[in-house]
Structure 1
């Protein structure tokens, strides 16, 4: 089985390699919803989950079917803009503006992908105007659960309201955790995009695709891209372009947008599935030693939940400030603490992302 993209007549300048912050946010949400798919991100997932505001976590569950079992094309809105040549935005805000440019019919169609209805690569029917399609949408949603039914009801009753809800939710995710992620991954993604663009110019599309993934090949005539996936489908670039979008968090997924009438997109993983390089053996020894002391474990338990001053920790532990300072110094040397100044106070907090990479059992123990 395979997915094919007819690119006959596609000019080289219509192929673009561009990172997408919105697509990366969608991938981050998928990793949080399905951590088992991304073993290399386990520490990051545990760390984000531990810090997540409970209200935002609840909202994250409202429409997680848009990124849990499928990757909704709502995260690739540029591909659906008329002309089929719009590129991803440089910022998340720019790409959220592109969602606003989609018609209500497009937005509803994208948001109902969780129904797994057939004919993804066929022209879309307008569910908003067809009572029979509405009935079918509710029937498919009911087979998947009450949350899907509630979401479908809201979506079909008031698409602009759901669109506004989704934008606010994604902006809140950006503030809560994704801005830090994007600051970390955008530079290597941009570097990969430049490398692939150079390959495209000097070596051609076949070598560029081969460098993306061994699962993507170009035929000898240079007219058809074949992607080795467990799906039988086809699409065409037509009079539009082809987008190659790198992702740092997406490994091992190689995703393809082949929606009818949209610009095809290959969303491919790059680099290591880890967000950061592993620590040295010396640094790992320092961290394990720092966490092995019972007093420091109790301090970590407090600092995993909130930021404390040295005086507050001394009072909570029934110890003197100098004793606490010595323990904090060990934790800080091991790279386990973050500190910030607030007026004349210095606040310490556990870096749960670093601790989570050492082992989720320890983190779960101190958060119990």
Structure 2
């Protein structure tokens, strides 16, 4: 399984390595919402959370589905600007101006991907604002996630400019509250990494630069494509435009590939080395590795690492029946890898990231990649 980027016709000067303050803020919000994904940042996350203004903390909870799973493509708006050559801005304000350049259809489509967890990512945009038949399906999908998602989806569909303004004000307040200080410390590291990758591009070529990004990113020169080893299938193309490589410090272990149709491909890659993981007991390792030996359960883990899902939702995204999914979930639960909780009449399942981390950082990075 992999995500591939067709780079036929890609000119060397159209490959850029540039840090993005908006993308880094998106990953900072993700780390605050899912500290279990980022054990190295738990001290930072605890300190920021303790010092947040209560009103800002409430607003953060109001829309955390936009960054809790990983983060929405609205944090990479330059990729959606027509022409395929727009670069990230030097400041958060510049990138928020780029967010304003997205059409309402682009903004809503990108936001709904994470609000509902059901709209297809690698197909053409759904036209939710122009196609009256799509709107009820979006609201129905949001209802599976909870009343908070329903309210936000309704606002998004009724008043995209209003929600866009709300998002901008929220992100500006996050910058003032905690991100400006974090960015002042991180921007030099990210700029240095970008300079290093740019030098590799100039003097050794794209293959060497991609190898320095991650060993799971490879260049198939014969086929004219970049292949990223991930637990999902996806395909995109530079379509005569460019390719962006965006480094992140907050983002480890997530290696994200923006492959939304019509958007410029982006590799959002982590810098820095992971901490060594504590080994599990032999008994735990045997039980858990047996549970994870099936490819379907590996794919289920990828989804459950990012968000809680009902059995029906997993059946939909996996293209399987609910009883089949239930059998795989039973194996994962027996191994202690999955937790469940009830919300009304729904039972939600989620991967226990702390337990999975004890299997080793390689597996954890694999399911979160």
Same fold (TM over 0.5): yes
Q: Report Cα offsets for 1:171-229 as digits up to 9, x if no partner.
A: 00000000001000000100000000000000111110010101100014271100011
- Answer whether contact 2:249 2:271 (CA < 8 A) is retained: yes
Unaligned runs of 5+ residues in structure 2 are 276-369
Task: Quote the Cα distance in structure 1 between the aligned partners of 2:224 and 2:119.
Answer: 27
Matched residue, 2:99: 99
Which 4+ residue blocks in structure 1 deviate beyond 4 angstroms?
A: none
Task: Quote the Cα distance in structure 2 between the aligned partners of 1:80 and 1:273.
Answer: 31
How big is the shift at 1:272? 4.5
Task: Quote the Cα distance in structure 2 between the aligned partners of 1:133 and 1:215.
Answer: 36
How big is the shift at 1:80? 0.4
Task: Quote the Cα distance in structure 2 between the aligned partners of 1:51 and 1:141.
Answer: 31
How big is the shift at 1:59? 0.3
TM-score, normalized by length of structure 2? 0.73
Task: Quote the Cα distance in structure 2 between the aligned partners of 1:264 and 1:190.
Answer: 20
Alignment of 1:233-248 (within 5 A): 233-248=234-249
Task: Quote the Cα distance in structure 2 between the aligned partners of 1:118 and 1:235.
Answer: 17
Q: Report Cα offsets for 1:23-56 as digits up to 9, x if no partner.
A: 0000000000000000000110011011111110
Change (3 A) 1:179 1:157: same
Task: Quote the Cα distance in structure 2 between the aligned partners of 1:131 and 1:4.
Answer: 33
Alignment of 1:338-357 (within 5 A): none
Alignment of 1:43-192 (within 5 A): 43-114=43-114, 115-192=116-193
Matched residue, 1:35: 35
Unaligned runs of 5+ residues in structure 1 are 275-368
Matched residue, 1:358: none
Alignment of 1:136-285 (within 5 A): 136-221=137-222, 223-272=224-273
Task: Quote the Cα distance in structure 1 between the aligned partners of 2:248 and 2:112.
Answer: 24
- Answer whether contact 2:112 2:119 (CA < 8 A) is retained: no
Change (3 A) 1:152 1:118: closer
Task: Quote the Cα distance in structure 2 between the aligned partners of 1:273 and 1:49.
Answer: 23
Matched residue, 1:19: 19
Kindly tell me the number of residue pairs found equivalent between the two proteins.
274
Tell me the secondary structure at the aligned position of residue 131 of structure 1. Answer: coil
How big is the shift at 1:118? 4.5
Q: Which has the larger radius of gyration?
A: 1
Q: Report Cα offsets for 1:113-141 as digits up to 9, x if no partner.
A: 12223431221121112221000000100
Task: Quote the Cα distance in structure 2 between the aligned partners of 1:82 and 1:175.
Answer: 30
TM-score, normalized by length of structure 1? 0.73
How big is the shift at 1:8? 1.2
Q: Report Cα offsets for 1:73-131 as digits up to 9, x if no partner.
A: 00000000010100000000000000111111111111101222343122112111222
Task: Quote the Cα distance in structure 1 between the aligned partners of 2:223 and 2:93.
Answer: 36
Answer 1 or 2: higher relative contact order, Cα 8 Å, separation at least 6. 1
Task: Quote the Cα distance in structure 1 between the aligned partners of 2:271 and 2:223.
Answer: 24
- Answer whether contact 1:248 1:272 (CA < 8 A) is retained: no
- Answer whether contact 2:17 2:198 (CA < 8 A) is retained: yes
Task: Quote the Cα distance in structure 2 between the aligned partners of 1:153 and 1:70.
Answer: 22
